[in-house]
Amino acid sequence: MDNIQGLIDQAPELIMTYGLKVIFAIIIFLVGKYFSNLVKKLTTKMLNNRKVDPTVTSFVANLAWAVVFVFTVIATLGQIGVQTASLVAVIGAAGLAVGLALQGSLSNFAAGVLMVLFRPCRVGDYIEAAGIAGTVDEITIFSTKLRTPDNKVIVAPNSAIMNGTITNYSAMDTRRVDMVIGVAYDADIKLTKKVLTDILDNNQYVLKDPAYTVALSELGASSINFVVRPWVKGADFWAAKFELTEQIKNALDANNIGIPYPQMDIHVKELPAAK
């Protein structure tokens, strides 16, 4: 009876002490839940504004929500007197174990997030990376799908692409076609230069701005080498290169400007007859 009476006497104090803790815990939980939803919405909005892949957007937004919500639960339990140090240690150990087990996948995921955030390449770009080259068809969370010019599909891990050098041939609107044209040593230099410039002036793909370059660059072992460097639209690069190569060959032939083959001089020495 004394124990019961003692509990009854302490009831107001217990209600005040633990009741306030429970109320504060509920407030912390509700505020944390609201804040976690807010973080999810803001993350989704930010990634959508950057036109990030919807799959990545959903994953990152849910991950941000989960992180905030877990901290909310830990703070709520701590408010009502639960020892959260061991709980945090267990969560940390579990996270470390999962991270070690999935380090390859997590590395690819992190690289995928960096790719969609910083955009070293976009869908439709022709790139060279990780020892492969092709047009980017799709960028997913863990891998990037490339299509080669001969219509093969290559799926490369995102980490392999991001950890190396990426050459994006589609990043700029214009590209320069670099050609080296070798002519015979007895060719007329002025005539050769005029033939080359006339071709560039009348080619449908060559841009007026930036200006092209035609110059004598080297006295080679077998030929006089001219550099021909016109600027074209990125989409017209290969069409311009193929057409210019054909036009230059035909124009040089029409003007009797020789294109020499590699030559080698062989000297034959006669040895004295053996005695």
pLDDT, tens digit, for every residue of 206-252? 999 999 999 999 998 889 999 999 999 999 999 999 999 999 999 99
pLDDT at 104: 61
Same fold, 11-117 and 174-255: no
Domains of the chain, residue spans: 11-117, 125-168, 174-255
- Longest C-alpha distance within the chain, in Å? 139
Q: Look at the pTM and tell me if it is higher than 0.75.
A: no
- Mean pLDDT, the chain, rounded, equals 83
- The CB-side HSE value for 143 (13 A sphere, CA atoms) comes to 7
Q: Could you tell me which CATH class the domain 174-255 is placed in?
A: alpha beta
Tell me, what's the pLDDT at 273?
74
Q: How far apart are alpha carbons 216 and 185 in whole angstroms?
A: 12
The residue among 217, 123, 141, 136 whose CA lies nearest residue 178 is 217
Question: Distance between terminal CA atoms of the chain?
Answer: 139
Pick the CATH number of 11-117 from 3.40.1440.60, 3.40.50.2300, 1.10.287.1260, 3.40.50.300: 1.10.287.1260
What is the average per-residue pLDDT within 148-172? 92
Task: Read off the pLDDT band of 255 (50, 70, 90).
Answer: very high
d(CA 226, CA 23): 84
Q: Using one digit for the tens of pLDDT, what is the confidence trace for 132-153?
A: 999 999 887 788 999 999 999 9
Topology of the domain covering 125-168: SH3 type barrels. (2.30.30)
